[in-house]
Amino acid sequence: MIFHSTKNNSICVSSAEAIVSGLAPDGGLYVPESIPSLDMSIEDFAKLSYPERAKTVLSKFLTDFTEEELNHCVNSAYIGNFDNDCPAPVKTIDDGTHFLELWHGPTCAFKDMALQILPYLLTTSVKKTGKDSKTVILVATSGDTGKAALEGFKDVEGTSIIVFYPNNGVSPMQKLQMDTQKGNNVYVSAINGNFDDAQTGVKRIFNSADAVKRLADKNMSFSSANSINWGRLVPQIVYYFSACADLVAKGTDVSEGINFCVPTGNFGNILAAYYAKLMGAPINKLICASNSNNVLTDFISSGVYNRNRPFKTTISPSMDILISSNLERLVYHLCGGDSTFVSAIQKDLAICGRYDITNAMQNEMRSHFWGGFCDDAATMKTIGETYEKFGYLIDTHTAVALSVYRDYVNSTGDNRPTVVVSTASPFKFSNSVLKSIGGEVSQDEAESVKILSETTGIAIPSPIASVMESEPRFNNVCSKNMMFESVCNYLEI
């Protein structure tokens, strides 16, 4: 399987090369030259364990990996690191709504599904491309990604990971999660600045010939763990097939297809669902759920992507995004792989903050996607009602999806089986969740976690409980202009 840049079809690389480099040299994203089909009935797929399901799907794209290499990656990631036998179980509440719970990993959010395996895909890819250098992962984070990347890369041989976060831009729980990080190859530092400063600082290091050379002299090279890496997308396709298979095994009629409703920010998670559909999963509609930053809702209804609007801070912060990077891949497929077109509209986006797609592309998009959004008040109301009626506790991101799913049913009358994708443990957003079910919120988020557990009788997930009991290992703060100096100090170069 060959991968092209969304901006240039004459760039051709193997999956190992796509994973090692993350971004194509022209700034485009890597996309597969064609979409393979699963070549297995969903009934047979249902008989496999999760690691076997992962191996089956990954082998369709990572055709340059040997069976032994795939086994190593998949087993290292999905055996023993999740608090459930199946890392991605489907739960059904009394009114028949299904939830795909993607938060049973070490950081209690769906990013673990990809970031637990990425380190193995990456180190295997580095070896396959003939290198023996040590990989230094640099991450700028606004919260969830940093912690999930730290957990994924900690103590993975041949790697070091360095995470920078904005000193006043993450929640107290997120700060605690990162500052208490264990592992012998991890470094965490706050920076004096906001998320953009952290991101800009990391990009500056990646693009500095001087920095790259200084690492190369010590047989090290930089890499990134962010969500545009193909190695983060492909593991997400697995759980869509897995959920379909679990529903079939439970006797659900999927002959008319299943809908998935996905709380969306960077468009990575829902894009994986689209790939699963093209590969033959029994999927009908993909419902794209946004919070008040509803740029995607407007795009799906009008065919115009326009980021020129105020940025809103919401109680579902992982979806507070106005530029959904992975949308570039969808547009590439919608226009039949016309990389010249993608190149032109990405230029429009950079210069004017907007672009249009053709009517034909819009129709194609709407045959797969339906978009909706909800505000914070509706999010909280949905958490409260779901807990009251069904005793099922959901986080703010999942609640956005459930609220939008109800709107979808009201507006279309479509009663097909539907899976709402649940992307975080409610304990990750304890203050908002506690408030939504009428609880007394504490100033101290750790206290709110305890109250939430006492009020609902649900045990605090062990990764959160253990963070609350740990002493911080890191209390570094560096100036936003001194990030590379911090990197060099840590790496002793």
Ligand X SMILES: *Cc1c(COP(=O)(O)O)cnc(C)c1O
Spatial separation of the C-alpha atoms in residues 422 and 395, rounded to whole Å: 8
Selected from 318, 339, 418, 431, the binder of ligand X by CB under 6 A is 318
Closest alpha carbon to 3 in 228, 159, 225: 228
Pattern 244-263, binding to ligand X, x per CB under 6 A? Answer: -------------------x
Q: Which is nearer to ligand X, 47 or 312 (CB)?
A: 312
Q: How far is the CB of 144 from ligand X (least distance, A)?
A: 4
Q: Please work out the total of residues on this chain that contact ligand X, with binding judged by CB under 6 A.
A: 17
Closest alpha carbon to 445 in 462, 461, 468: 468
- 334 binds ligand X, rule: CB under 6 A: no
- Name residues whose C-beta falls within 8 Å of residue 446's C-beta, 6 or more positions apart in sequence: 172, 173, 176, 468
Selected from 160, 174, 252, 269, the binder of ligand X by CB under 6 A is 269
**Which of the stretches 11-19, 213-221, 266-274, 290-298 binds ligand X when contact is defined by CB under 6 A?**
266-274
Spatial separation of the C-alpha atoms in residues 245 and 364, rounded to whole Å: 26
Residue written as token pair 């047979």: 44
Q: How far is the CB of 269 from ligand X (least distance, A)?
A: 4
What residues are paired with 436 via a beta bridge?
Answer: none
- 423 binds ligand X, rule: CB under 6 A: yes
- 328 binds ligand X, rule: CB under 6 A: no
- Among left, alpha and beta (phi > 0; psi -120 to 50; other), residue 156 is beta
Q: How far is the CB of 325 from ligand X (least distance, A)?
A: 9
Q: How far is the CB of 477 from ligand X (least distance, A)?
A: 25
- 425 binds ligand X, rule: CB under 6 A: no
Decide if 154 contacts 161 (C-beta within 8 A). yes
Selected from 14, 123, 264, 403, the binder of ligand X by CB under 6 A is 264
Q: Which is nearer to ligand X, 142 or 242 (CB)?
A: 142
**Which of the stretches 40-48, 103-111, 159-167, 178-186 binds ligand X when contact is defined by CB under 6 A?**
103-111
**Which of the stretches 39-47, 75-83, 198-206, 267-275 binds ligand X when contact is defined by CB under 6 A?**
267-275
Q: Which is nearer to ligand X, 42 or 327 (CB)?
A: 327
Reported as half-sphere exposure (CB side, CA atoms, 13 A), residue 465 has a value of: 9
Pairing of strands 477-479, 418-422: unpaired
- 150 binds ligand X, rule: CB under 6 A: no
User: How many Å separate Cα 242 from the centre of its chain?
Assistant: 17
What one-character-per-residue DSSP string does 332-366 give? HHHTTS-HHHHHHHHHHHHHHSEEE--HHHHHHHH
Selected from 11, 319, 393, 404, the binder of ligand X by CB under 6 A is 319
Closest alpha carbon to 430 in 98, 83, 105, 108: 108
What residues are paired with 187 via a beta bridge?
Answer: 162
- 109 binds ligand X, rule: CB under 6 A: yes
Residues lying near ligand X in the complex (CB under 6 A) are found at 109-111, 144, 227, 263-269, 318-319, 397, 423-424
